[in-house]
A = this chain, B = another copy of it.
Amino acid sequence: MNKKYVIIGGDAAGMSAASKIRRMQPESELVVFEKGPHISFAACGMPYWISGVIDDGSKLQVLTPEIARDKRNIDVRIRHEVTKINPSMNSIVVQDLNTGNEFVETYDALLLATGARAIVPPIPGITSPSVFTLRSLADGHLIKNFISEQEIKHVTIIGGGHIGLEMAEACRHLDIDVSMVVRGDQIAPSMDKDLLEKVTENVIEHGVDLQFETTVKSLEKSDRGLQVQTTAGQFQTDMVIVSTGVMPNAELATEAGIKVGKSGAILIDDHMQTNVENIFAAGDCAEHNHLVLDESMWIPMAPSANKGGRAAGENMAGGSVRFPGILGTAVAKVFDYTIAQTGLTEKQARKIENLGEFETTTITGGSRAHYYPGSTPMSIKLIVEKGTGRVLGAQMVGQEGVAKRLDVLATAITAKMTTEDIGMLDLTYAPPFAPVYDPIHVAANVANK
């Protein structure tokens, strides 16, 4: 008899799993319940669509429910919220948000792909209609419409992380003034501050009013729009974008007795299975094995949602594929710079007990041969285990050639390479693309001393 597969959540992880199950089990029953109005969209593209760099918003829609149904034979039900899981009954309770009707659905295998949601700090006035978060495609539509309809001249971004920075760039691209209010003393808090000096300068040069060590105390309606009261003073703004991080949507899981980790996200094994039989999890609602620490960690990212979702689907459909884990590899374009990281930062490493001793090395090298026009400096910082020379983490900042160069180090870290190994890697060399000693070699050789 054909099995019945149920997936909760229709974004990257859920639809990756569904597509994989459908390819492996063409005759099976397969239902995806998605709370929102959209499935499978390119969230990371939204800042570029809001800015107008991407002209056609429909390109961000990877799949529609109609195409999923018609072309892939996946029964996608949008605006359907799963409100309860009964593992002992192999069933869930679903509410149709269109009608309010509730019904019970059974499963042979269930995938939790419920994602994460934006954290909204409890600031007085935060519920104002001029305050937005950017997480769903619907959020993106709201922001884009609000900017054009209200002729926005000034945006306040709360938070200095990757999304906040991308939104700052998007607003500046639209010639909108930007104030960025950051609680800590640096942008891109997932990275080490010492590498970000030039990027921070660049953000300011591009006209962003960057306010460090400042928090918003209240948002009050004013003639212009909102009056922002911070710990440092006050100013007028037309619109606020809250970009202070996300939290996992794991309440449904915990209520059903599914174990979660320290982060609150769902714990899974390397086959994407939770502690409860026939229940899998993937994407931003789940922790993943960190390849450097060999410990479960929560670093929600699109690539692991896609790969993990696919792996979950394969395993649900009777396959056996191992998802080895993540390095927290991340990259962002920040005005004229690219910032990228993989594995541990120094900041992270310092907080980890039992890590053992490590050293850091930071170098600057050229993106091309020094004599070739257009070569720009890039900085690389390595976190290296003392004694063994094993590289535990890498960060890179520069104006070109950063993203995929960082991937060389992500690959080396995955292979548990030492600085000696990396110094000897046979990497491409030609004047338009790299110096004869690539900055990667230079970093490894300096660290190796």
- Nearest CB of B to A41, in Å: 11
Q: Are A329 and B428 in contact (CB under 8 A)?
A: yes
Q: A12-B436, A371-B45 are contacts. A406–B431 as well, Cβ < 8 Å? A: no
Partner-contacting stretch, out of A186-194, A276-284, A298-306: A298-306
Does A42 sit at the interface, judged by CB under 8 A?
A: yes
Does A326 sit at the interface, judged by CB under 8 A?
A: yes
Q: How far is the CA of A411 from the CA of B404 in the complex (A)?
A: 12
Q: Cβ of A53: which chain B residues have Cβ within 8 Å of it?
A: 372-373
Q: Name A288-329 residues within 8 Å CB distance of B.
A: 291, 301-304, 306-307, 321, 323-329
Does A342 sit at the interface, judged by CB under 8 A?
A: yes
Q: Are A404 and B424 in contact (CB under 8 A)?
A: no
Does A219 sit at the interface, judged by CB under 8 A?
A: no
Copies of this chain: 2
Q: Are A407 and B427 in contact (CB under 8 A)?
A: yes
Does A37 sit at the interface, judged by CB under 8 A?
A: no
Q: Cβ of A44: which chain B residues have Cβ within 8 Å of it?
A: 369, 429-431, 436
Q: How far is the CA of A372 from the CA of B340 in the complex (A)?
A: 19
Closest chain B residue to A299 by CB distance?
B426
Q: Cβ of A431: which chain B residues have Cβ within 8 Å of it?
A: 42, 44-45, 48, 54
Chain A 423-449: CB-based contact to B (< 8 A → 1; otherwise 0):
111111111111011101100000000
Q: How far is the CA of A432 from the CA of B48 in the complex (A)?
A: 9
Does A264 sit at the interface, judged by CB under 8 A?
A: no
Does A401 sit at the interface, judged by CB under 8 A?
A: yes
Does A232 sit at the interface, judged by CB under 8 A?
A: no
Q: How far is the CA of A329 from the CA of B429 in the complex (A)?
A: 8
Q: Cβ of A291: which chain B residues have Cβ within 8 Å of it?
A: 426
Q: Name A106-146 residues within 8 Å CB distance of B.
A: none
Q: How far is the CA of A125 from the CA of B342 in the complex (A)?
A: 58
Q: Cβ of A440: which chain B residues have Cβ within 8 Å of it?
A: 407
Q: Cβ of A327: which chain B residues have Cβ within 8 Å of it?
A: 426
Q: How far is the CA of A85 from the CA of B427 in the complex (A)?
A: 34
- Nearest CB of B to A173, in Å: 12
- 16 additional contacts (CB under 8 A) given A45-B371, A303-B429, A415-B415: A12-B436, A42-B431, A44-B369, A48-B372, A53-B372, A56-B371, A59-B370, A323-B424, A324-B424, A331-B433, A333-B432, A342-B428, A406-B428, A410-B426, A410-B427, A414-B425
